[in-house]
Structure 1
Amino acid sequence: MSPRIGVVTFPGSLDDVDAARAVRLAGATPVSLWHDDSALRGVNAVILPGGFSYGDYLRCGAIARFSAVMETVVDAARGGLPVLGICNGFQILCESHLLPGALTRNRELHFRNRDQALEIGNTGTAWTGAFTPGQRIVVPVKNGEGCFVADTATLDALEAENRVVARYVEGNPNGSQRDIAGICNEAGNVVGMMPHPEHAVERLTGPSTDGLGVFTSVLAHLGATTV
């Protein structure tokens, strides 16, 4: 039986269907999870997709963190459940304090939508094991509030502990400090990234198939951890 990967739908989610499709292409079974339902339905991992949860009122992800499903996801993540937050999902992870820092308005106050080169850093996480350190990939970015910020001590700790999973190269689209595009928690089971790997899983619809590695990574991780 293939692993079951939950994809949460919040009011305002835009990329939940795309995330589910990427999960299916990777070889797992996508399971729809509703924001107002705390049940995780026996999933082996969870994806928080991109979009504008709850209309991005107050701050991006600020209301979503209090949803019924996130109460369960937070507890499960602290217990080791693999969780991936993409774009708005990354914002929700920071608001939920599963990841440090915050995502703020892009430096030049413009919405950025383009294919973006990334350099993979930490490949020891549940979501990046299919890559090699320093590997360059290309996936889309599309955000207006994707500028990652944190205090100097936090940034230094993320780098010292090898918790930067991806950096922007060939240009920083949003002004993120130290070109950070994605980070992980200390255990490596929780990853947040601003770029959209689910939009780079087929050459017909994306700039590459580089993003598929994010989803095959968690399948390999689940296989290794359940043996």
Structure 2
Amino acid sequence: MTARIGVVTFPGSLDDRDAARAVHLTGAAPISLWHADAELFGVDAVILPGGFSYGDYLRAGAIARFSAVMESVIKAAGDGLPVLGICNGFQVLCEAHLLPGALTRNQHLHFRNRDQALRVESTTTAWTGGFQQGQEILIPVKNGEGCYMADERTLDELEGEGRVVARYIRGNPNGSLHDIAAITNAAGNVVGIMPHPEHAVEVLTGPSIDGLGIFTSVLAHLGARV
């Protein structure tokens, strides 16, 4: 049976179609989910895409967290549904308290858009099982509020429990503490990543196809779960 991966569109989403295309390239079926609709339509996983949901009013992700669809996503994530938040989606996951910490203004106060090297630190999540621990990948980063911040206790927990999923290498584009680019919840089904794997899935348009592993990983996870 073909896996059905939901991609949420908020007002201000920019990368929902890119995420849907990445899902399509894996052979799965992308399912469009509207922010004002609480129904998840039986999807097997959910992606919260990048963009500027609700214009980043108040702060990035703060309003999207209260959308109807997020109430369903929060409940489903608690029941084990794989959820991936990319860039603005990562911000929404933190605002929804599905992930700890917060994404704040880049320390240098400039928007950064560049190809970024990462090191995969954890392969035990639903979204990274297809990588090798320590593998270096290259995917684009584009954000103005991508600086991951948390208190020392939270950082110690993330490090001690192996919940740092990916780290920036060869330069930190936003000043994130511990060079954190991606984290997961304790169960491993919810992952937030600041760089954009959906922009690294085709040779023609990406700096690599390294991002494709995020999307194929969740399919393997779903297959193993079945």
Shorter-chain TM-score range:
over 0.9
Q: Tell me the equivalent position of 1:205.
A: 205
Inter-partner Cα distance in structure 2 for 1:2 and 1:211: 21
Cα deviation, residue 78, structure 1: 0.6
User: Match for residue 37 of structure 2?
Assistant: 37
Partner of 1:118: 118
Task: Report what 2:137 is aligned to.
Answer: 137
**What is the CA distance between 1:103 and its match in structure 2?**
0.1
Determine the structure 1 residue equivalent to 2:86: 86
Aligned amino acid, residue 136 of structure 1: E
How many Å separate the matches in 2 of 1:27 and 1:141? 25
Distance in 2, matches of 1:20 and 1:109, equals: 31
Letter in 2 for 1:96: A
- Provide the rounded CA distance (Å) in 2 between the counterparts of 1:115 and 1:103: 20
Q: 1:77 is paired with a residue of what secondary structure? A: helix
User: How far apart are the structure 2 equivalents of 1:92 and 1:188?
Assistant: 17
Q: Which runs of 5+ in 2 are unaligned?
A: none
Q: Report the Cα distance in structure 2 between the residues aligned to 1:141 and 1:12, rounded to whole angstroms.
A: 18
Deviation at 1:26, TM superposition (A): 1.1
How far does residue 150 in structure 1 lie from its aligned partner after superposition? 0.1
Q: Secondary structure at the match of 1:156?
A: helix
1:29 offset after TM fit, Å? 0.3
User: Identity across aligned pairs (percent)?
Assistant: 77
Indicate the residue corresponding to 1:151 in structure 2.
Answer: 151
**How far, CA to CA, are the matches of 2:27 and 2:135 in structure 1?**
23
Give 1:43's aligned amino acid.
Answer: V
Instruction: Give the TM-score normalised by structure 2.
Output: 1.00
**Structure 1 length-normalised TM:** 0.99
CA distance in 2, matches of 1:148, 1:44: 28
C-alpha distance in 2, partners of 1:86/1:146? 11
CA–CA distance in structure 2, aligned partners of residues 150 and 81 of structure 1: 25
What CA deviation, in whole Å up to 9, does each residue of 1:117-159 have, x standing for no partner?
0000110000000100000000000000000000001001100
Q: Structure 2: how far apart are the matches of 1:55 and 1:90? A: 16
Answering whether residue 185 of structure 2 is matched by residue 181 of structure 1, we say no
| Partner AA of 2:26 in structure 1 | A
Measured in 2, the distance between the counterparts of 1:137 and 1:165 equals 13
Stretches of structure 1 that go unaligned for 5 or more consecutive residues are: none
Q: How far is the alpha carbon of 1:27 from its aligned partner?
A: 1.4
Distance 1:2 1:169 in 2: 36
Amino acid at match of 1:125: T
Q: What amino acid sits opposite 1:26 in the alignment?
A: T
Q: Structure 1 residue runs of 4+, over 4 Å off?
A: none
SS at match of 1:166: strand
Secondary structure of 1:99's aligned partner: coil
> What are the equivalent positions in structure 2 for 1:11-22 lying under 5 Å apart?
11-22=11-22
Rounded to whole Å, the distance in 2 between the matches of 1:43 and 1:190 is: 15
SS at match of 2:188: coil
Q: Distance in 2 between matches of 1:136 and 1:27?
A: 25
> CA-atom RMSD, angstroms?
0.3
3-state DSSP of counterpart to 1:98? coil
Structure 1 Cα separation of the partners of residues 211 and 85 of structure 2:
14
Quote the offset at 1:192 in angstroms: 0.1
Q: Does 2:153 align with 1:163?
A: no
Aligned partners of 1:56 and 1:107: how far apart in 2? 18
